[in-house]
Each structure stands twice: as structure tokens, then as C-alpha cells.
Amino acid sequence: MSLSLTKNSFHGKRKGPVVVIVMDGVGIGPAYPGNAVAAARKPVLDRLMATCPNITLRAHGTAVGMPSDADMGNSEVGHNALGAGRVFDQGAKLVANAISSGELFQGAGWNEVVANALAKKSTLHFLGLFSDGNVHSHIDHLKAMIVAAKKAGVAKVAVHALLDGRDVGETSALDYTKPFEAWLAGIDPNYGIASGGGRMQITMDRYDADWSMVERGWHTHVLAEGPRFPSASAAVEALRLQKPGVIDQDLPAFIVERGGQPFAPVVDGDSVVFFNFRGDRAIEISKAFVGAVPFERVRTPAVCFAGMMTYDGDTNLPARILVKPPVIDRVLGEYLVANGVRQLAVSETQKYGHVTYFWNGNRSGYLDAHSETYIEVPSDRVSFDQRPWMKAAEVTDAVIAELNAKPYGFCRINYPNGDMVGHTGVFEAARIGVEVVDLMLGRLLPEIAKLGGIALITADHGNADEMYEMDKKGGVKMENGKPKAKTSHTLNPVPFIIYDPGFQGEYALDTTVTKPGLANVTGTVLTLLGLNPPVEYEKSVIALA
């Protein structure tokens, strides 16, 4: 299929770039005391909302390929939709379908890990995020595989539980460990949780931001180094007493022992399934099992390793998978390359892969190094509530310098503050994070205007818009006399603002577009670049006069 696009009547009307600004995690939430977006002082955003064409976009559930509208959006699926202009069934839905249809258990990946465990009378390990957040994983997927392993005759199963507290309640770990341990004991007494720890302490690093997390995870799951407890639930309870106020994602690593010995470290001959379906926080630990890593592993067991899905399509990592990922083709970047539009993508490390890898349909590297520039600003390695400004100023510096240095037709930027600070559960820090993004808009928009460009300001999902759990009446849920923090994404819509200083009535919002979502942004970008979007894309939200 040709990637050539025809020109529309807007072609050549602006000399500057179309710039998509993603305010990660800044949704439009309810009017209640936990809305850090509403509480923030944000004169630029307030002015834009009052003076510029704007609508809200759906950024969760079926609008981004999740199984149902009860499922929150996330940065991965949001940036897939923004970059692809269409909605693809995403990891959670693909895995759920593969399990319900039985396809997962008929596939080569599953049968190889099971056959290895049976032939060598070894342990089948399941490692991954231990919750029903449905952003990186789902505990129901894990349980279905354990039932299938028992049916196949696997003698010993070990679960390595990465505690969440981020996509679910911040101190909800026992709500998962206690019933799961009871359920697992009923399946087989030789099945159990072997190790664990908070997802932001061990194993689940991304974008090479902090390999020491992966190293700590390796020492936990493989080398069985760390404090020992009789169960995962006992570990959670004891570690909370040792670190009062700690939330689940920051809990230290632990080992579960039986008979005075670690229950199940990973050893030669074992099978290992990493059961996260989302790729960004799965790549590094996968490399630890099947590739090269920048730390001393001490012991590297020969195992039969499988990922739930392909985590890096360019390197085919890992080679063995349980479920085929979505094939996201004909992304915006490919059309722009084919039609001679220079592109710029900028963010700091925490979201750099979102404006590159995820935006480009889960492909690493450049689509065309001659016409694209990607800039990564290294993130700080601190808890983001301590530095809620993150690297927003440096990202803005880089964008302004690059746009003034070279002619670009299209630019995409991600400010992670609303999301990464929102995940800490600290209200005041999240409020500051939103205010920082507003300050950056105040710096960036005049530069875009000077260049004769257009800015499209949006978000990939909500987060900072709900920093406290809500009770049934829409008020703040209290715990121990304090508001109960919420660290997960939200189901709220996100803003979409068109900032066009050169506007002379050439277009208007298209009221025939019902229930617009993030995928509609892509067609809008092409329309404002003077190109007719491909027919398979979701409609532009503007109609040319």
C-alpha cells in the first residue's frame, strides 16, 4: 500500500511546525479536593481553555484498545493510539482472548516451557506484576496459567510477585497475597510464592534508567538473597512495620522460605515465564535471562525463558512468547517520512520510549534517521515527589533550541510530570508537577508562534486529576485520619486544545465526530500539515472550511 498522501486546502497555510504536546497524566477530573490538576495554578492552560478551540478526548477503555471501558488507559496504549491513528486490541485484551479461547495453551511458547519443566522435573517460575491493574499484567492471567500448569502435570510452580501499589491501591498488597496464597495452597502444596518486592525497587526498570533495580531483582529471584519470611503476606506485614508509611511499590525485596531454605530460586533447567504483557518494563529483566546486561549476574542459570508477548519487536526480545502482539502498521511517522515531513521527538528518559518506541508502533530506533531527530534528556534517579519539576525545563530547552536550529514539519513532546509525580501519591508534589508543565507551556508556545506553527496540547491518560481515593458520595476516602492516596491512572477524559496564532477561520471543530479519542489526534495532525489523512485513520476532529 502506498504511503503517499494528497494535499488539502490547508497545505502551505502555516510556515512553522505542528507540535503535539503530551501532558502525561493530566486528565480532566471531578471537582473534589483530590484533583491536583484543578488545584494547580496554571494560568497558561486556563487561558488556552478559555480562548482556543478545545474538546475532551477519551483516553481509556475501548478507545485505546483495552478490554472494556472499566479499564484505565496507560501511557503505552495512549501513545500507540496517538502514533497510529487507529485503535488496536492491546496487550490486556489480546492475552485475555488468548486465554479464553485456549490459544495461549496451544501455542509453541507455552508448550515449550511446560515440556521443559516436565522433562527435567524442574520448577516453572512465573515472574511479573502481581495485581489486577491490567496495565502491565493481570493476576487472572497468572491464575489461568497456574491452573493449566497443574493440569499438564507440572510438579512445582513458583511465583515471583512484584508488588504494585501504583496501578491499584497504594497499600493493597495483602488484598492480593492473602487470598492468592490460600488459593495456591488449594491447587498444590508444592506451588507457592518464592520471592517479591515493590515494583519500583526491583526488576521493573525501563528505558535503561536504573539497571540497579534489575540487579536487585536478579539477586532476589535468582540468587535468593534478602530477608526471609514464611510467606509473602508475612513479608508485607513485617516490612511495613520496619518502614512505616511505605507504599507497596517501594517495599524492599523479600524471599519466602520453606524448611529453612529459600522455596524456589531460579536454577539450571527451570522454566521462567515473565507474565507482564506490556513491554517497557519487561525488556531489561528479559535481557538478564537471555541477553547481555551491565551488571555481574554471579550465576546465570540455563533456563527456558518466555515472555507473555514480544517486548522489543526490533530485536525480537524475547524469542519465545506466549501471545502474539498487535501488528501496528502504517503509523504516522511512516507517512510523514514518505511525504517529506521532518520530525522531532523529545522527552526525558522516563517517557522517551513513549514518543519513540510506542509512538512508532512498538519499534525501536529511527524510522528514517535522515529525516527524524530524537532527543532524550536523562531523568533524575530520585523519587519524583522530591523533584516534581523533573526535567521539564531541560526538555523545553532542547525543543526550543532544535526547532530554531532546523526546519521541522512535526514535533512531539512528552512532559511526564503529571504521571510520574502522580504515581507517588503525594498531592502537593503532583500539584507542583502540573504547575511546572504550565510554566513550560508559557515558555514554549511563544516560540511556536514565532515560528508560525500550531500546538496541539493533550494528554495520554489521567492521573494527577485524582490523587485521593473517592468514597461512594464523591468525597475523599479517609484512612487513619488522612486522605487515602490514589496512585493509579484514572478513567477521566483528557483535554485537546488547538493553539493556532495564525488562525483565520480556515477550519472548525467537526461536530460530527462522536466520542473522539486519542486516535483522532493523528488525523488532525495530518490535516493541519496540509495532508489528507489515510482512509483507515480515525477522523480528524477539525473540518476545513
**Among all residues, which ones are annotated catalytic?**
75
Cell of 298: 554471579
Q: Which three cell numbers stand for residue 47?
A: 487561558
Cell reading at 75: 501511557
Q: Are 327 and 362 spatial neighbours (Cβ–Cβ below 8 Å)? A: no
Q: 509 - beta bridge partners?
A: 542
Torsion angle defined by CA atoms of residues 91, 93, 95 and 100, in that order, rounded to the nearest 10 degrees: 180
Give residue 265's Cα distance to chain centre. 29
Convert 202-239 to b/e letters by CB count within 10 Å (16 or more is b): bbbbbbebbeebbbbbbbbbbbbbbebbebbbebbeeb
Cis bond before residue 318 (omega within 30° of 0): yes
Cα separation of 5 and 57, whole Å? 26
- E strand intervals along 84-175: 123-129, 156-163
CA distances from 223 to 285, 303, 304, 348 (A): 14, 14, 17, 33
Torsion of CA 107, 108, 114, 120, to 10 degrees: 170
Q: What residues contact residue 69 under an 8 Å CB cut-off, 6+ apart?
A: 60, 61, 62, 63, 491
Which three three-digit cell numbers place residue 159? Answer: 511465583
Distance CA 495, CA 37 (A): 12
Q: What angle do CA 98, 206, 197 make, to 5 degrees?
A: 80
Chain centre distance of CA 247: 20
Distance of alpha carbon 81 from alpha carbon 360, whole angstroms: 10
CA distance 524 to 459: 15
Q: What is the 3-state secondary structure (H, E, C) of 484-509?
A: CECCCCCCCCEEEEEECCCCCCCEEE
Coil, strand or helix at 414: strand
